[in-house]
Chains A and B, each alone.
Chain A
Amino acid sequence: MADVLPAERLAASGLLTWSWLLIALPLAGAAVLLLGGRRTDRWGHLLGTATVVASFLIGLLCTFQLAGLEERSAGVDLFTFISAGSLDVRAGLLYDPLSAIFVLLITGVGSLIHIYSIGYMAHDPGRRRFFAYLNLFIAAMLLLVLGNSFVALYVGWEGVGLASYLLIAFWYTRPAAATAAKKAFVMNRVGDVGLALAIFLMFSQLGTTSFEGVFGGVGSLAGGTVTAMGLLLLLGACGKSGQFPLQAWLPDAMEGPTPVSALIHAATMVTAGVYLIARSAPIYDLTETARTVVMCIGALTLLIGAIAGCAYDDIKKVLAYSTVSQIGYMFLAVGLGPVGYVAGLAHLLAHGFFKAGLFLGAGSVMHAMNDQVDMRRYGGLWNKLPVTFVTFGLGYLALIGFPFLSGYWTKDAIVEATFDRGDTLGYALGGIAVLAAGLTAFYMTRLMFMTFFGRRRWEEGVHPHEAPSVMTLPMVVLAIGSVGAGFALVQAFPLSDWLEPVFGEPEEAEHVIAPLTIGAVLVAVMVIGAFLAWLFVGRREVPVTAPVRVSPVTRAARKALYADTINESLFMRPGQWLTRALVFFDNRGVDGAVNGLAATLGGSSSRLGRTQTGFVRTYALGMLGGAVLVAGALLAVTAG
């Protein structure tokens, strides 16, 4: 049966019919840069940046047009992608409020990071390749959020996985980068299996993979099937978004260039899991079990990320664990169901701003410190890198939830919605969220103290200098976003109104705890966390090498709560044993049987061949013997 095309009902008109250009432009940029070779070295970065900026402008215009539409949803039917038997997948785009906010986030932050990269990668011999991969990523990510079916989403999903792999391994001559890329790729595949199975399940149960078809038919399915679908989608989301138990690849992915960490591993790609769950809201609305699992995984991950973030000395890894933790908040929010989707997405957008800004700031610091990432080698940078300090500081305040900055509004909404459940689970998860907010304040304040304040612990020959304006400008823009995004999304132009066509009318929640109390508690916890950071780190001398004699808790946190150890002992080693056993069986068992048979036949034939002496009389004797035997047999028969 053919998919019911949204395009037939709500065909796009005007500029929205050209929304495929959003994807096509960066894709063409990537193709030109990759196929053009060295000829494009001189202007490749400019072309790469221009395509993304153009995409951003088209996205803006499309969104304005969308805002004017009555239905606020536009489908663009492109071509038949797969037509085989009863499977008919049309390649089409769906431009609705949910896609629109992602398009603006991806192309907006993407443009800024492209501009930043012009400065950051100025002296890298592989700059053209870098921009080609970045463009490829933007194109794949836009396909992911714009596709109108799960298959289109999956194509984009794999595309961003590929781009992420290529960019983590951008400096592929470094063994650490190559290993990290492989790790990211393998762990993402684990998640992708879940997503693929979910799509198979949709096709086998509903005969369609388009959003409209699936969401329209999901109500008629058995509860168990819907729950299975939800859990499989969640597995896919966990893989892409670095959620427990697949979180270990994200911090290692920091081996890639810093703009990549900012764009892919903080602002956009890793939030694809949140998009997937929000997009699949009609499925999750029907399955309480899957939603509870989403919430619990989110809460668990945000705690793990926050604890691990407290112990690392590598500035990018701290930010990476912070990302893991913040995406945990988003998962917690979207797991809450209708009350949480908007809160989760608002946090996602705000996080996109401040975390991208923080990563760009970290990149600027590394740029100034000869690519040093160890915070124990920083210190006292605030007056050497004033622009970086101010923009990073604003991102920091937004992240820890300083009142009236982005993180305050969005995190507050999530915690509020969690407590509003009113049951034990709600209190438990809300408690975790509040605790993690304190930890966030602790590790980020620690990072600030170690990087910008205290004694200068620089290595010999390091002369920090502020980055060129092509790098500072995006940081300033993102810092403005960090300050204002939360207020804009929650108070000024509520995201819930904009997303109303997707998630329905925002329902008035019954507050179990007054929002004011929650806000006050969050601020108090934040202040305590920051104070503790000052107590333990800020007022003391930071040793240049990490102390060895530490408590078991610190030791565990430094190992990211043994996530790698657990993965290795639970999956990697048994896998290796299995492989070795299979290789042994193949060599000895299968090969042994085949080779043994051949050797037996060969040996016996050569042994039998010895009887052929070549002497005439041997053959004559044989003939005589045979004749005698025949004669004897004849005699015996006739006589008998």
Chain B
Amino acid sequence: MTLSWYLVLAAILFTIGAVGVLVRRNAIVVFMCIELMLNSVNLTLVTFARAGGTVDGQIMAFFVMVVAAAEVVVGLAIIMSIYRTRRSASVDDANLLKY
């Protein structure tokens, strides 16, 4: 089997994630879409590591996972506090930072 199927899958996942970030309102869903994009990138890294026969890409994927975990902690905390103050998890309601 060729590696391109993995890459195509990764591209599809990334696209789904990107579109999700752009079009969804619910903060949790947007967050999950971001995770989806990160993991599609992980898949790409692992694929290329496999193709190249080195472990560089796999190590990189671990780093991404660590960063993603940290990001989830911070991000969910922010979403929680927004929800507490505004009784809503919609990202469109958190639009105070503007002109």
Interface, chain A (partner B; CB < 8 A): 606, 609-610, 612-617, 620-621, 624
A609 close to B18 (CB less than 8 A): no
5 A-B interface contacts by CB (under 8 A): A613-B98, A614-B95, A616-B30, A617-B21, A617-B22
Query: Knowing A609-B99, A610-B99 touch, does A615 contact B22 (C-beta < 8 A)?
Result: no
Interface, chain B (partner A; CB < 8 A): 18, 21-23, 30, 91-92, 94-99
Interface contacts beyond A615-B95, A616-B95: sample of 15 additional A-B pairs, CB < 8 Å, sorted by A: A606-B99, A612-B97, A612-B99, A613-B95, A614-B95, A614-B97, A614-B98, A615-B92, A616-B91, A616-B94, A617-B22, A617-B91, A620-B21, A620-B22, A624-B22
Smallest beta-carbon distance A630→chain B, Å:
15
* B22 surroundings in chain A (CB, below 8 A): 617, 620-621, 624
* B92 surroundings in chain A (CB, below 8 A): 615
B98 close to A624 (CB less than 8 A): no
Q: A614 to B95, alpha carbons, bound, how many Å?
A: 4
* A614 surroundings in chain B (CB, below 8 A): 95-98
Within the complex, which residue of B23, B96, B99 is in contact with A617, where a contact is CB–CB below 8 Å? Answer: B23
B30 close to A612 (CB less than 8 A): no
Q: A613 to B21, alpha carbons, bound, how many Å?
A: 17
B91 close to A615 (CB less than 8 A): yes
* 5 A-B pairs with the lowest CB-CB distances in the bound complex, closest first: A614-B98, A614-B95, A609-B99, A616-B91, A612-B98
Q: A609 to B18, alpha carbons, bound, how many Å?
A: 26
Q: A613 to B95, alpha carbons, bound, how many Å?
A: 7
Q: A624 to B33, alpha carbons, bound, how many Å?
A: 14
* B94 surroundings in chain A (CB, below 8 A): 616
Smallest beta-carbon distance A604→chain B, Å:
13
A624 close to B18 (CB less than 8 A): yes
Residue of B nearest to A607 (CB): B99
Smallest beta-carbon distance A57→chain B, Å:
86
Smallest beta-carbon distance A365→chain B, Å:
82
Residue of A nearest to B27 (CB): A616
Smallest beta-carbon distance B85→chain A, Å:
16
Name the residue among B91, B92, B97, B98 with the largest chain A CB count within 10 angstroms. Answer: B98
Smallest beta-carbon distance B9→chain A, Å:
19
* A610 surroundings in chain B (CB, below 8 A): 99
* A621 surroundings in chain B (CB, below 8 A): 22
Q: A616 to B27, alpha carbons, bound, how many Å?
A: 10
Q: A620 to B92, alpha carbons, bound, how many Å?
A: 13
* B91 surroundings in chain A (CB, below 8 A): 615-617
Q: A610 to B18, alpha carbons, bound, how many Å?
A: 25
Smallest beta-carbon distance A173→chain B, Å:
59
Residue of B nearest to A609 (CB): B99
Q: A613 to B96, alpha carbons, bound, how many Å?
A: 9
Q: A271 to B98, alpha carbons, bound, how many Å?
A: 78
Q: A322 to B23, alpha carbons, bound, how many Å?
A: 100
* B97 surroundings in chain A (CB, below 8 A): 612, 614
* B98 surroundings in chain A (CB, below 8 A): 612-614
Residue of B nearest to A610 (CB): B99
* B95 surroundings in chain A (CB, below 8 A): 613-616
Residue of B nearest to A616 (CB): B91
Residue of A nearest to B24 (CB): A617
Residue of B nearest to A617 (CB): B22
Smallest beta-carbon distance A8→chain B, Å:
81
Q: A200 to B97, alpha carbons, bound, how many Å?
A: 67
* A613 surroundings in chain B (CB, below 8 A): 95, 98
Q: A613 to B97, alpha carbons, bound, how many Å?
A: 8
Smallest beta-carbon distance B27→chain A, Å:
9
Q: A621 to B21, alpha carbons, bound, how many Å?
A: 9
* A617 surroundings in chain B (CB, below 8 A): 21-23, 91
* A612 surroundings in chain B (CB, below 8 A): 97-99
* A624 surroundings in chain B (CB, below 8 A): 18, 22
Residue of B nearest to A615 (CB): B95
Name the residue among A612, A613, A617, A624 with the largest chain B CB count within 10 angstroms. Answer: A617
Name the residue among B21, B97, B99 with the largest chain A CB count within 10 angstroms. Answer: B99
Residue of A nearest to B19 (CB): A624
Q: A624 to B18, alpha carbons, bound, how many Å?
A: 8
Q: A230 to B47, alpha carbons, bound, how many Å?
A: 104
Residue of A nearest to B21 (CB): A620
Q: A136 to B98, alpha carbons, bound, how many Å?
A: 70
* B99 surroundings in chain A (CB, below 8 A): 606, 609-610, 612
Smallest beta-carbon distance A607→chain B, Å:
10
Smallest beta-carbon distance B81→chain A, Å:
16
Q: A616 to B21, alpha carbons, bound, how many Å?
A: 9
* A615 surroundings in chain B (CB, below 8 A): 91-92, 95
* A609 surroundings in chain B (CB, below 8 A): 99
Smallest beta-carbon distance A12→chain B, Å:
83
Q: A606 to B23, alpha carbons, bound, how many Å?
A: 28
Q: A21 to B27, alpha carbons, bound, how many Å?
A: 96
* B18 surroundings in chain A (CB, below 8 A): 624
Q: A620 to B94, alpha carbons, bound, how many Å?
A: 14
Smallest beta-carbon distance A605→chain B, Å:
10
